[in-house]
Amino acid sequence: MTSRLRHSILFALLALLCGQSPAAGLSKPNIVLILADDLGYGDLSCYGATKVSTPRIDRLAKEGMRFTDAHSASAVCSPTRYGILTGRYPWRHPALAYGVLAHDAPMSIGPDEPTIARLLKSAGYATACVGKWHLGWGNPKPDWNAELHPAPVDAGFDYYFGMPNANTMEPLVFIENRRVVGLDPSDPIRVLGNTKMEGGTAARVTHGEIDSQHVAKARAWLRQHQADAPVRPFFLYLPLVSIHAPQLANARFKGMNQVGIRGEFLAEHDWAVGEILDELDRLGLREDTLVVYSSDNGGLDAGQFKPVGGCFKNYGHSMNGVLRGMKSDAWEGGHRVPMIVRWPGHTPPGAVSDALVSLNDLFVTFASVGGVELPPERPTDSKDITPVLKAPGATARDFAHHASYQGIIALREGD
* Predicted pLDDT at 294: 99
Query: Distance (Å, rounded) from C-alpha 102 to C-alpha 95?
Result: 10
Residue 26 has pLDDT above 80, yes or no: no
Catalytic residue chosen out of the listed positions 71, 77, 311, 402? 77
* H or E element in which residue 332 lies: helix 332-335
Q: Quick one: pLDDT band at residue 12, thresholds 50, 70, 90?
A: very low
Residue 16 has pLDDT above 60, yes or no: no
Q: Quick one: pLDDT band at residue 21, thresholds 50, 70, 90?
A: very low
Query: Distance (Å, rounded) from C-alpha 307 to C-alpha 183?
Result: 32
**Residues whose CB is less than 8 angstroms from the CB of residue 306 and which lie 6 or more positions away in sequence, other chains included:** none
Mean pLDDT over 102-126 rounds to 97
Q: How confident is the model over 160-189, as pLDDT tens digits?
A: 999 999 999 999 999 999 999 999 999 999
* Predicted pLDDT at 7: 46
How many Cβ atoms sit within 10 Å of the Cβ of residue 13? 10
* Predicted pLDDT at 17: 39
Q: How confident is the model over 338-365, as pLDDT tens digits?
A: 999 999 999 999 999 999 999 999 999 9
Cα–Cα–Cα angle for 27, 282, 249, rounded to 5 degrees: 115
135 or 22, which is more confident: 135
Cα–Cα–Cα angle for 112, 118, 119, rounded to 5 degrees: 110
Residue 77 has pLDDT above 50, yes or no: yes
Please state the pTM of the whole predicted model.
0.93
7-11, 87-91, 268-272: which has the minimum mean pLDDT?
7-11
Query: Which domains are delineated in the chain?
Result: 32-413 (3.40.720.10)
3-state secondary structure of 121: helix
Catalytic residue chosen out of the listed positions 134, 225, 244, 402? 134
* Predicted pLDDT at 377: 72
29-43, 201-215, 218-232, 316-330: which has the minimum mean pLDDT?
316-330
How many Cβ atoms sit within 10 Å of the Cβ of residue 48? 12
Residue 4 has pLDDT above 60, yes or no: no
Residue 211 has pLDDT above 70, yes or no: yes
Contact (CB, 8 A) for 374 and 381: no
Per the prediction, the chain carries an average pLDDT of 92
Active site residue 214: no
Share of the chain above pLDDT 70, in %: 91
Q: Quick one: pLDDT band at residue 27, thresholds 50, 70, 90?
A: confident
Share of the chain above pLDDT 90, in %: 86
Q: Quick one: pLDDT band at residue 308, thresholds 50, 70, 90?
A: low
SS (H, E, C) 251-309: HHHCCCCCCHHHHHHHHHHHHHHHHHHHHHHHCCCHHHEEEEEEECCCCCCCHHHCCCC
Residue 15 has pLDDT above 60, yes or no: no
- Would you give the DSSP letter of residue 173? B
Q: Quick one: pLDDT band at residue 104, thresholds 50, 70, 90?
A: very high
Query: Is the backbone peptide bond immediately before 150 cis, with ω within 30 degrees of 0?
Result: yes
Residue 177 CA to its chain's centroid (Å): 17
Contact (CB, 8 A) for 168 and 196: no
Residue 13 has pLDDT above 50, yes or no: no
Contact (CB, 8 A) for 84 and 359: yes
Give the C-alpha distances (Å, rounded to integers) separating 71 from 269, 294, 317, 374, 402. 20, 9, 21, 23, 8
Cα–Cα–Cα angle for 251, 272, 325, rounded to 5 degrees: 90
Residue 23 has pLDDT above 80, yes or no: no
Number of alpha carbons in the 13 Å side-chain half-sphere of residue 334: 25
Active site residue 77: yes
